[in-house]
């Protein structure tokens, strides 16, 4: 024989189990519309009501708006058009007083907002309204309407709906934050596209006047003597630095390079190393640096984009020359480790503090302070090289004994099988 006490206990357990299920579902749902519908359906089920609704607070207009209702869509559409004032309404009183309101006979309470019924065609006989909070702020109201079987609302109804409203308030706020985050991400993507377009246009437009400057500077260097020749050399050096900056700007796109953008072939590592040496040789000669290089035999090959990998190594060599004293040695060698080849550039330059060994591969980072640094550039070379290495299924790292003790940069690539 099942007693009323046993039945009541089982009903409580069923509702608590339902709330546990609801908690799991609410916390895994980040889209606002299905979230609101699920909360309303659950509220009506737990409170044994004909319908339920959610009203959210408009902080600017200081009024409430129906966001969803658990009956047919035509009633919901009508309700959504009706703003509910904070004064002279049940929902408004809940928000202002921050406490639940139970009305068992709607016909006798002036706070029941009659316009909602007259506009929607729904007849409110009784209701229970619970504040939905986020921290200390009331963000809306959860209502259950018309208790089934014409019964009165119970303290259990209030208790279970308060638990549901508490979970719902947090979940709705999370959904709103996710929506704002997505909007911010879209805005950032738009800004990123504008930035890339600006850089592409600016670098293209700067090339033409720079070409003219370089042409005249070359002519002046060849034709002038004495101080005039020195002035022409200064112009030439500055123009060459500007050309490097423009190249860095143009190559910004490689910071986000992926495997799909690589023209991958089976290529000898020796060909990549020699191509990068040719790129850097004139700069090394101008700095009176000595280059010692050892390249692997042609049968040591990798699956990679020769042009991009050459750029990666050229950037590393360029860095080595830039930060090395004149007449110093730069070693360009390799080591074989199982199915990998480690291509290494070792210099005798300024070195890198141990806490900066990883962040030198971040874009725009330079070891020297930007206010006192002696070397130019935008700090993009190593970042681009690292991006190319990762897109090529490889990796890159730096080793240094410390400041003014030189640096070794290693590009590791899997050997083609």
Say if 160 falls within a structural domain.
yes
Say if 1 falls within a structural domain.
no
Say if 202 falls within a structural domain.
no
pLDDT score, position 372: 41
Give me Rg for the CA atoms of the chain.
35
Inter-helix orientation angle 155-223/4-27, to 10°? 10
Say if 242 falls within a structural domain.
no
Does 308 share its domain with 401? yes
Does 372 share its domain with 264? yes
Say if 104 falls within a structural domain.
yes
Does 321 share its domain with 172? no
Does 160 share its domain with 283? no
Write down which residue in 154, 180, 206 finishes a domain: 180
Does 149 share its domain with 275? no
Say if 208 falls within a structural domain.
no
Does 80 share its domain with 167? yes
Residue 95 sits in a domain whose CATH number is 3.30.450.40
Does 269 share its domain with 128? no
Give dist(CA 301, CA 312) in Å, integer: 17
Whole-structure pTM value: 0.50
- The 10 Å CB-count burial string (b at 16+, else e) for 315-338 is bbbbbbbbbbeeebebbbbbeeee
Give dist(CA 375, CA 406) in Å, integer: 16
pLDDT score, position 400: 93
Partners of 131 in the β-ladder: 141
Give dist(CA 242, CA 247) in Å, integer: 9
Cα 77–chain centre separation: 36
Say if 322 falls within a structural domain.
yes
Task: Encode the chain (417 residues) as per-residue pLDDT tens digits.
Answer: 334 444 467 766 777 677 777 676 766 666 777 777 788 888 888 888 988 888 888 888 888 988 767 766 677 777 777 888 898 899 999 999 999 999 999 989 989 988 888 877 888 999 999 998 877 788 889 999 999 888 899 988 898 899 888 887 877 777 778 778 888 888 877 877 777 677 667 766 777 787 788 778 777 777 777 777 778 778 877 877 777 777 777 666 677 766 667 889 999 999 999 999 988 887 788 778 999 999 999 999 999 999 999 999 998 998 898 888 888 999 999 999 989 999 999 999 888 888 888 888 887 666 555 444 455 555 678 888 999 999 999 999 999 998 889 999 999 999 998
Does 271 share its domain with 139? no
Q: What is the 3 state secondary structure string of 258-283?
A: CHHHCCCEEEEHHHHHHHHHHHHHHH
pLDDT score, position 270: 96
Say if 356 falls within a structural domain.
yes
- Residue 325: give the domain boundaries: 257-414
Does 264 share its domain with 400? yes
pLDDT score, position 342: 97
Does 28 share its domain with 174? yes
Residue 399 sits in a domain whose CATH number is 3.30.565.10
Q: How many domains does the chain have?
A: 2
Q: What are the strands, taking DSSP E only, across 3-147?
A: 49-58, 63-69, 83-85, 101-103, 127-134, 137-147
Write down which residue in 135, 159, 180 finishes a domain: 180
Q: Indicate the DSSP class of residue 107.
A: G
Write down which residue in 131, 159, 180 finishes a domain: 180
């Amino acid at each position: 024989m099942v007693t009323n006490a046993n039945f009541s206990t089982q009903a409580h357990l069923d509702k608590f189990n339902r709330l546990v299920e609801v908690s799991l579902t609410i916390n895994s749902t980040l889209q606002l519309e299905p979230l609101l519908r699920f909360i309303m359906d659950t509220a009506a089920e737990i409170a044994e009501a004909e319908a339920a609704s959610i009203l959210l607070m408009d902080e600017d207009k200081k009024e409430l708006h129906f966001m969803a209702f658990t009956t047919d869509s035509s009633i919901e559409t009508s309700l959504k058009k009706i703003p509910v004032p904070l004064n002279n309404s049940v929902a408004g009183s809940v928000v202002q007083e921050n406490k639940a309101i139970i009305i068992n006979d709607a016909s006798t309470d002036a706070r029941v907002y009659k316009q909602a019924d007259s506009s929607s065609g729904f007849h409110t006989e009784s209701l229970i309204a619970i504040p939905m909070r986020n921290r200390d702020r009331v963000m809306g109201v959860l209502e259950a309407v018309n208790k089934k079987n014409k019964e009165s609302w119970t303290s259990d109804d209030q208790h279970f709906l308060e638990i549901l409203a508490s979970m719902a308030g947090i979940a709705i706020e999370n959904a709103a934050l996710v929506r704002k985050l997505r909007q911010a991400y879209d805005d950032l993507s738009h800004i990123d596209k504008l930035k890339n377009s600006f850089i592409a246009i600016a670098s293209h437009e700067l090339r033409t006047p720079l070409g003219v400057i370089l042409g005249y500077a070359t002519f002046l260097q060849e034709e002038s003597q004495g101080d005039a020749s020195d002035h022409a050399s200064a112009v030439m050096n500055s123009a060459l630095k500007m050309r490097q900056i423009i190249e860095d700007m143009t190559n910004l796109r490689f910071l986000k390079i992926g495997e799909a953008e690589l023209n991958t072939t089976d290529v000898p590592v020796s060909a990549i190393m020699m191509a990068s040496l040719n790129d850097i040789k004139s700069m090394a000669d101008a700095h009176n640096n000595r280059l010692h290089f050892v390249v692997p035999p042609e049968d040591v090959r990798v699956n990679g984009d020769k042009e991009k990998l050459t750029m990666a190594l050229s950037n590393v060599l360029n860095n080595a020359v830039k930060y090395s004293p004149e007449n110093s040695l730069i070693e360009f060698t390799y080591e074989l480790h199982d199915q990998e080849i480690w291509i290494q550039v070792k210099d005798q330059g300024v070195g890198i503090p141990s806490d900066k060994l990883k962040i030198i591969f971040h874009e725009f980072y330079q070891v020297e302070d930007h206010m006192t640094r002696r070397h130019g550039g935008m700090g993009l070379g190593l970042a681009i090289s690292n991006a190319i290495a990762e897109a090529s299924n490889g990796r890159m790292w730096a080793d240094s004994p410390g400041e003014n003790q030189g640096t070794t940069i290693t590009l590791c690539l899997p050997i083609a099988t």
